[in-house]
């Protein structure tokens, strides 16, 4: 992975400067386990656009949210904060 992320504070930077913090999604109906276990251990594994949290570890040291297409790594939006814009 070597795609670029637009940090709202620092501008366009290579992905290795950031730490992944999980995707933001709707709480779904638990499919296999109970709600707590699914919340803790299951990912949606979306093929397509999703909102995700990243921490700019080697930059502004702030959490941001980006919209990324998991198939192409194209980043189509980024915002400060930890919640969906």
The dihedral region occupied by 37, where left means phi > 0, alpha psi between -120 and 50, and beta the remainder, is alpha
- Only one residue has tokens 């919209």, namely 67
Nearer to other proteins, 29 or 61 (CB): 61
Nearer to other proteins, 19 or 28 (CB): 19
Nearer to other proteins, 43 or 73 (CB): 73
- Residue 45 CB, shortest distance to other proteins, in Å, is 18
Tokens at 57, concatenated = 């570890």
Cα separation of the two ends of the chain = 25
- Residue 71 CB, shortest distance to other proteins, in Å, is 12
- Per CB under 8 A, residues contacting other proteins are 1-4, 14-15, 19, 21, 36, 40-41, 53, 55, 57, 61-63, 73, 81-83
Quote the CA–CA distance of 47 and 22 in Å, as a whole number.
15
């Amino acid at each position: 992975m070597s795609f670029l992320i637009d940090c709202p504070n620092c501008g366009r930077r290579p992905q290795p400067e950031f730490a992944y913090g999980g995707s933001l999604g709707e709480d779904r109906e638990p499919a296999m386990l109970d709600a707590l276990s699914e919340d803790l251990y299951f990912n949606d594994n979306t093929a397509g656009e999703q909102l995700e949290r990243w921490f700019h570890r080697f930059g502004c040291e702030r959490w941001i949210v980006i919209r990324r297409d998991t198939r192409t790594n194209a980043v189509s939006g980024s915002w400060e904060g930890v919640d969906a814009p």
